[in-house]
């Protein structure tokens, strides 16, 4: 039996919100500057997993800091125009409000916190950890462990880390918490590849579970 959660930590993009259009716009501005092919939103969703500080040195080599600056400048202009809640998320966050909740994402911390505030969700979260806030980013467990220290909790099975990819499930297991998949992970080789401890088809089912165990 899956332990009842004391703490709910959420991934951000494609778990709580759809912000892929803004990320894609920033990536494409960067690709344009380097004369590289553009990505569609679907390609961004399928390809983006690790944080910029881990992915851009591989993608752009010794020019990665220039690419980073172009990406961030565009994202600063674009991201709040595109971020929208995923279906059922408002209900899930409301249902989970009697527990400690937080966000752990590979989106750069300052953009992540701007989006949380923009959506009016700051009161739901006791901690919001983004890329660059911890010593390493997901799938390393460091950001999940940092979030738990901020909340005053230890990593146990009573902590749920909820995400939409296999990388999120790997990070949860590395941190010693329960790995919970939201959605079908069709953009990431499916549910079996993610191998979660617990699965909800959408945030609506998560909300129903949280209300049932409240």
- Identify whether residues 60 and 96 lie together within a single domain: no
b/e map 161-187, b = 16+ CB within 10 Å: bbbbbbbbbbbbbbbebbbbbbbebeb
pLDDT in tens, 7-46: 999 999 999 999 888 889 999 999 999 999 999 999 998 8
- Identify whether residues 68 and 111 lie together within a single domain: no
pTM: 0.89
**Euclidean distance between CA atoms 5 and 129, whole angstroms:** 19
- Identify whether residues 99 and 171 lie together within a single domain: yes
pLDDT in tens, 141-164: 999 999 999 999 999 999 999 999
- Identify whether residues 76 and 111 lie together within a single domain: no
- Identify whether residues 77 and 11 lie together within a single domain: no
- Identify whether residues 56 and 96 lie together within a single domain: no
């Amino acid at each position: 039996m899956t332990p009842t959660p004391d703490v709910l930590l959420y991934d951000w993009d494609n778990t709580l919100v759809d912000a892929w259009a803004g990320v894609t716009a920033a990536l494409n501005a960067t690709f344009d500057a380097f004369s590289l092919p553009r990505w569609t939103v679907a390609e961004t969703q399928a390809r983006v997993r690790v944080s910029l500080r881990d992915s851009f040195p591989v993608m752009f080599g010794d020019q990665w800091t220039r690419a980073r600056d172009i990406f961030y400048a565009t994202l600063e202009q674009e991201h709040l125009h595109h971020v929208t809640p995923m279906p059922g998320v408002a209900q899930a966050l409301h249902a989970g409000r009697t527990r400690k909740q937080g966000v752990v994402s590979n989106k750069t911390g300052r953009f992540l916190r701007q989006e949380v505030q923009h959506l009016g969700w700051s009161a739901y979260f006791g901690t919001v950890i983004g890329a660059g806030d911890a010593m390493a980013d997901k799938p390393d467990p460091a950001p999940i462990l940092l979030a738990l220290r901020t909340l005053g909790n230890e990593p146990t099975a009573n902590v749920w880390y909820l995400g939409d990819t296999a990388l999120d499930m790997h990070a949860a297991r590395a941190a010693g918490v329960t790995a919970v998949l939201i959605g079908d992970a069709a953009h990431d080789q499916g549910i079996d590849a993610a191998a979660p401890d617990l699965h909800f088809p959408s945030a609506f089912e998560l909300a129903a579970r949280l209300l049932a165990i409240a």
